[in-house]
């Protein structure tokens, strides 16, 4: 069965600083990997996804993530965070279950931005 680990429960960074959120996955086949963001009281919004091809994936809001098979990682990065980036970030791995994609989520990383 697939699983996702987000080692950092809570990260605090200064506005304008760079950001890296860690994600490690476990899956027997080639994974489909996702990063979602959840703002307070809101639903989840897809930031980016990796299915195949280039291991460096660009997403919305200036985010990118790099798939590293050897490390089973899919870390999310942003060169300069904005106060509006404060939110909960979820990494997920997609697996196919009777033809349907089943997403397994990590426990999330809460990002706090300080001025």
* Residues near another protein, by CB under 8 A: 32, 34, 36, 38, 42-46, 49, 88, 90, 96-105, 107-108
CB-wise, 54 or 115, nearer to another protein?
54
Q: How far is the CB of 70 from another protein (least distance, A)?
A: 25
Shortest Å, Cβ 42 to another protein: 6
Which of 2, 15 has the CB closer to another protein? 2
H/E/C letters for each residue in 49-88? EECCCCCEEECHHHCEEEEEHHHCEEEEEECCCCHHHCEE
Phi-psi region of 108 (alpha: psi -120 to 50; beta: other; left: phi over 0): left
Q: How many residues does the chain have?
A: 115
Q: Could you tell me which residues come within 8 angstroms of residue 46 by beta carbon, excluding any fewer than 6 positions away?
A: 34, 35, 36, 59, 60
Q: How far is the CB of 100 from another protein (least distance, A)?
A: 4
Q: How far is the CB of 80 from another protein (least distance, A)?
A: 26
User: Which of 20, 101 has the CB closer to another protein?
Assistant: 101
């Amino acid at each position: 069965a697939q699983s996702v680990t987000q080692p950092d429960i809570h990260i605090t960074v200064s506005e304008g600083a760079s950001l890296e959120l860690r994600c490690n996955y476990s899956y027997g086949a080639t994974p489909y990997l996702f990063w979602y963001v959840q703002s307070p009281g809101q639903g989840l919004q897809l930031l980016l996804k990796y299915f195949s091809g280039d291991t460096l994936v660009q997403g919305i809001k200036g985010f990118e993530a790099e798939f590293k098979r050897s490390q089973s990682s899919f870390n999310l990065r942003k060169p300069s965070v904005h106060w509006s980036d404060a939110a909960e970030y979820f990494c997920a791995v997609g697996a196919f279950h009777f033809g349907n994609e089943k997403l397994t989520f990590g426990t999330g990383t809460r990002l706090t931005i300080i001025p």
